Each structure stands twice: as structure tokens, then as C-alpha cells.
Amino acid sequence: MAKRTFSTLSLWLIILGTLWFFGTRGAAVLAIVVSVFTQLELYRMLRRMGHRPFVRLGLVSGALVVISPVLPAFGLPPSAFSLSVLAPANLLALSAIASALLLLGRRTPENRVESLGWTLFGIVYVPFLLQFLVQILLIAQPHASTGLVLGLWVIATSKFCDVGALLTGMAFGKHRMAPVISPKKTWEGAAGGVITSALVGAGIAYFCRQWLPVTFTPLLAAAMAAPVALLGIVSDLVESIIKRRADTKDSGATIPGIGGMFDLSDSLLLTSPAAFILFSLFL
């Protein structure tokens, strides 16, 4: 627990320091690094299951997908051609074409379909979903820092759900949520996690209101945090299924007390697109 607490505090200092000193570009680079290492750990777990994804192709394609929304901020001329070709959906299509071509000579007939499927799964499930967080970071209305605050809101509501669920589950947990997938998770803990996320989301909306749209009231922020928190729990369960199938406790050993990068970012994979959709609808 001590290692986990130290790592958690250190990570929050890194996140807040990056946002404070480097702004949108720094936050985007941080998201890209997290995406690449998360995708790499996913491919490693898939290999432990006996699958053979195209790792290098998947990582390069994934890096392009997650960085594509922020390329204009790094000086790429925002021409209609470049923005069209480098759109995330188009990059996914190009990745599918490249994977299909590689199948012709680098895999046996028995595992060609699986190689194609798992390569694309790694690209879609990690970088394609995380690029929605990058898009959130780029929101510049009504304030230049609006996207940074909204990105912080997504991360905080996702991760504090884990904290609330852990503490509530330890204190009141009696009814197991998914005993086969994740025996320690309880319905009481999940409820505590959602409530914690709602409170944290409302708090950020209140204390950071000068950088946020006037429509993003604490009440709306709390209401939006609930589905985000629920999807964070679902995302965590999905990772548990993958790790159990790969016969491993943690996705890696990058972060003391937490595990790998996938263990850190798992909840953001589903909460980022959900938050992006909610922001698009209500802000």
C-alpha cells in the first residue's frame, strides 16, 4: 500500500506539473507516451495467450492515431489533405491495409486471421480510444486552458472512482460484483466509487469555473461524472479479463505498487470517448 500511495502521489505531481509548465503540448505528449506503453503491454499479454499480433506495425500505427489530433499544434500545416489523411479513422483504415499485406508472407495460414484481428484490436482499444482524451485537451473555448481543465476532470473522475471504490469496498463491501473476473470488487465499492467521482467532478467544476464553460455547472459535472465512473469500472473489469486470460497479475512492472502502464490507464480507455461525447452534447 505504501508503494502504491507513493506512486499515485508521484504520478499526480507529474500530471499537474506537465499541465502547469508545458500546457497542451506537454499534456498531449504525456498522453501519447501512456498510449504507446499501454498498447505495448497489451500486445505482450496477447503474446502470452499464444496470439501473434504485428507489434511494430501496431505501435507505429497507434502512435500516429493518438498524435493525429495534435499535429497542427506542433507546426504541421493544417491543409485539407493532411488533416484528412491523418484523421484517426483514416489511419485505422491504412493500418488495416498494411496488416492485410503483411499477412501474405509473415504468418502461417493457421494464424493469419488472428494476427490481423489482434493487431487491429490493439490499435482500436488503446490509441484510438485515448486520442479522444487528446481531442479534449485541445478544446480552447471559452478559455485557452479549458481543454487542460476538462482533461484533468476526465482523469480525476476516472481515477478517483478507483480510490472511492477501494476505500468503500474495504469498509462496507459485502456483495461481490464479479467474483470470477475480479473477486475483490463489490457493489458497495462501485457505488462509493461513483459517488466519489461525482463529488470530485463537481469540485473541479466549482473551483476551476473561471476556465470552464458557464454551462458546466457543479450539478452537471456531478451528473456527467456518474456514467464516466461506471465506464471506468467496466474498463477495469475488461483489463482484469485480459490479465486473467494471459495468466498475469499485472500488465507490467513499470510503476511500483501499481503494476504496468495498462494498470494505470485502463479506466481512461472507455471514459475518454464517453467524456468527449458528453462534452460535445452538453457544453
- pLDDT digit string (tens) for 112-139? 778 888 999 999 999 999 999 999 998 9
For the chain, give the mean pLDDT.
87
Question: Hey, what's the cell of 253?
Answer: 512492472
- 41-85 pLDDT, tens digit each: 999 999 999 998 989 989 999 998 988 888 766 665 554 445 555
Residues 227-255 have a mean pLDDT of 90
Contact 154, 135 (CB under 8 A): no
| Predicted pLDDT of residue 22 | 81
| Predicted pLDDT of residue 95 | 83
Please provide the DSSP assignment of 229-248 as one string.
HHHHHHHHHHHHHHHHHTT-
Residue 106 confidence (pLDDT) above 70: no
CA–CA separation, 160 and 146 (whole Å) = 21
Q: Look-up: residue for cell 459535472?
A: 221
Contact 70, 147 (CB under 8 A): no
- 166-219 pLDDT, tens digit each: 999 999 988 999 888 888 899 999 999 999 999 999 999 999 999 999 999 999
Contact 63, 70 (CB under 8 A): no
| Predicted pLDDT of residue 1 | 58
| Predicted pLDDT of residue 76 | 58
More confident residue, 9 or 203: 203
Q: How confident is the model at residue 94 (pLDDT cuts 50, 70, 90)?
A: confident
177 CB-near residues (< 8 Å, 6+ apart): 185, 186, 187, 189, 190
- 18-33 pLDDT, tens digit each: 878 887 778 888 888 8
| Predicted pLDDT of residue 80 | 47
**pTM for the whole thing?**
0.90
Q: Look-up: residue for cell 475480479?
A: 182
What is the identity of the amino acid at 197? S
